[in-house]
Amino acid sequence: MRGLAALVAAALLVGCVGRTAAPVTGVAAGPVEVHVIAFNDFHGNLEPPKLSIDVAGADGKPAAAPAGGAAYLASAIAELRAQAAHSITVSAGDMTGASPIVSSLFLDEPTIAAMNLIGVDLNAAGNHEFDRGIDELRRLQNGGCAKTGNGEPCRLDRFAGAHFSYLAGNTIDASGHSAFPATAIREFREGARVVKIGFIGLTTRATQTYVNPTGIPGIRFADEADTANAQIAGLRAGGADAIVLLIHEGGAAEGGPNDCTALSGAIRPILDRLDTRVDLVVSGHTHRAYICDYAAYDPARPFLLTSSGKYGTLVTDAVLAIDPATHRVLAKRARNIVVQNDGYVGADGKQVAVTDRAPRYAPEPKVGALVARYAHAAAPLASKPVGLLTGPLAKAKEGAGMTETTLGNLIADSQLAATRVSGAQIALMNPYGIRTSLNPAPDGSITYADLYAVQPFGNTLMVRAYTGAQLRAVLEQQIDRKIVMSVAGMTYAYDRSRPAGSRIMDVRVGTAPLDDAATYRVTVNNFLAFGGDGFSTFTAGRDVAGGPSDLDALVAYLATGKPVGPPATGRIVDRTPVR
């Protein structure tokens, strides 16, 4: 704790003024209301993501409202600002990373440019913002065209960097200091009356397992609650009347985007240890939308907890009413608002049209022009036909990491096929590396952009040697991680009720039983090879050969000129007794 507290002075950004619509004359009375306009998990979705939000009408029946797109998000935020005397726009992480091709092909520079135009003030770094390494994240903050890894910077423009500040107070470097600021203070004025809000920004401590360790050398991610609590005294000393935590960690709740029934997830144990002087928690990471009065779960911690789902489909308007005389928050409220766009045609060929049950926004011209320019630059590659499918292939649903999927099997098959020349016998693919389902056009065609959306990370395939015993340990660790990897060249069963070390059964490589003493050549991506997704057992392997990128392998596998059908499932069998 002493180390965390020592970070406060060095990490504090103070003295900045939030947005005030117009000067106020005369003597005002009552609290000053500040609107914290928030979103999370945008993931570079500059173009509308072809998603909808269900909106209930007076009859109680839901209607699908088409939602998302940077230009529409810009208009929604601008409208909220125009209605508020005081506001600030913030993000709870994963603004970039795992992005569609229009952003990712350009190293997410267009998303940062769009957020500059929107007027974002603060962003708590999410785990995906570390996908290309900490040096690339620093480039996104500071600008410039230095090449920090794969990809070519500044392909269309010289990159100016983010005009907003990244906060990540629990990202600790080898010196023991935070690699990014932990906090910021913003003030809001009504004549002589001034209120200040202190912001804390954190990423999930699980970032250590989510990103390639070679990109974050010497970095560790500290406990979220401990880090946040260590900042409170410094913010109060800096004059903060209210405390807002921006955290890239979240939960899930039942109900609609403004409900909070049966809240669960990793955010809860953090909130249960969080300093009660925090007023508002803007969360993310789980891609779920909720508005929660946390007092319903812990009366001693009446935090207002929000999340706006994903991809800019919703935006949160959270309001803090602050008394400048007593320096106290008198009231707080929040709502999630659908960022309705102009509609789209879904993968099933059906039109999702606008509805009067949600606000309608016109695309903001400057952001729209920026998006169109980068979409035009990406189009020759994005629109390139790469293959045919007989039907859609689904990824695992959120929270269903123990599920075998046809899409995962297809990807594993493609990776094994791409590395057979190096003697590969088995391929393993992590489910969290599959970002979306694969939906062909009505004629069955698939484009490069479709495949890029499925695998946007640019991972490289590696063929590594493992003994049978080491492979069994990898499969065992899946049960601890509560995820199963897609497999090719191998079948097995598992029983989660059995003791650790005996939960994996009937492993076969091809048609032969797994021999613990034998050596096998296994294809994995470089992320897994270095222990990504918490699979430390993968690091025991020995490098044998390199391979193409995961995306190139998938493109080559589908380039048969004939429709490809879904691969059979049943490679992994769950024998856990039903109770």
Token readout for 229 is 């609590």
Q: How far apart are CA 521 and CA 27, in angstroms?
A: 77
What was the pLDDT predicted at 349? 83
Q: Are the beta carbons of 479 and 430 closer than 8 angstroms? A: no
What was the pLDDT predicted at 16? 66
Q: How far apart are CA 452 and CA 551, in angstroms?
A: 7
Q: Are the beta carbons of 105 and 378 closer than 8 angstroms? A: yes
What is each CA distance from 57 to 87, 355, 357, 432, 449, in whole angstroms? 29, 10, 6, 35, 36
**């990490």: which residue's tokens?**
11
DSSP β-bridge partners for residue 39 = 91
DSSP β-bridge partners for residue 545 = 463
At the second CATH level, the architecture of 385-574 is Alpha-Beta Complex (3.90)
Q: Among positive and negative, which fits the CA dihedral 225, 227, 228, 234? A: positive
Q: Which of 516-526 are b and which e, b meaning 16 or more Cβ less than 10 Å from the residue's Cβ? A: eeeebbbbbbb
Q: Are the beta carbons of 80 and 118 closer than 8 angstroms? A: no
DSSP β-bridge partners for residue 13 = 184
**């590659």: which residue's tokens?**
381
Which amino acid is residue 141, in one-letter code? Q
Q: Which CATH class is domain 2-373?
A: alpha beta
Q: Which helix (H) or strand (E) holds 104?
A: helix 101-104
Give the count of alpha carbons within 13 A of 428, CB side only.
30
Closest CA to 89 of 286, 282, 364: 282
> Quick count: other Cβ atoms within 10 Å of Cβ 360?
14
What was the pLDDT predicted at 28? 60
Query: Could you tell me how many residues make up the chain?
Result: 579
Residue-by-residue DSSP string for 117-169: HHT--EEEPPGGGGTT-HHHHHHHHH------SSS-S-SSS-----SSEEE-T
Residues 139/144/149/154 CA torsion (nearest 10 deg): 130
Q: How far apart are CA 88 and CA 240, in angstroms?
A: 15
Per-residue pLDDT of the chain (579 residues; tens, 9 = 90+): 334 333 333 344 445 667 776 554 444 679 999 999 999 999 999 999 999 999 988 788 899 999 999 999 999 999 999 999 999 999 999 999 999 999 999 999 999 999 999 999 999 999 999 999 999 999 999 999 999 988 999 999 999 999 999 999 999 999 999 999 999 999 999 999 999 999 999 999 999 988 888 899 999 999 999 999 999 999 999 999 999 999 999 999 999 999 999 999 999 999 999 999 999 999 999 999 999 999 999 999 999 999 999 999 999 999 999 999 999 999 999 999 999 999 999 877 889 999 999 999 999 999 999 999 999 999 999 999 999 999 999 998 876 678 899 999 999 999 999 999 999 999 999 999 999 999 999 999 999 999 999 999 989 999 999 999 999 999 999 999 999 999 999 999 999 999 999 999 999 999 999 999 999 999 999 999 999 888 999 999 999 999 999 999 999 999 999 999 999 999 999 999 988
**Domain residue spans in the chain?**
2-373, 385-574
- E strand segments, 9-85: 12-17, 19-20, 32-39, 51-56, 62-67
Q: Are the beta carbons of 322 and 34 closer than 8 angstroms? A: yes
Q: How far apart are CA 441 and CA 426, in angstroms?
A: 31
* Tens of pLDDT, residues 404-419: 999 999 999 999 999 9
Q: Are the beta carbons of 565 and 408 closer than 8 angstroms? A: no
DSSP β-bridge partners for residue 165 = 122
Q: How far apart are CA 241 and CA 34, in angstroms?
A: 12
What is each CA distance from 155 to 100, 106, 150, 382, 458, in whole angstroms? 17, 7, 13, 16, 18
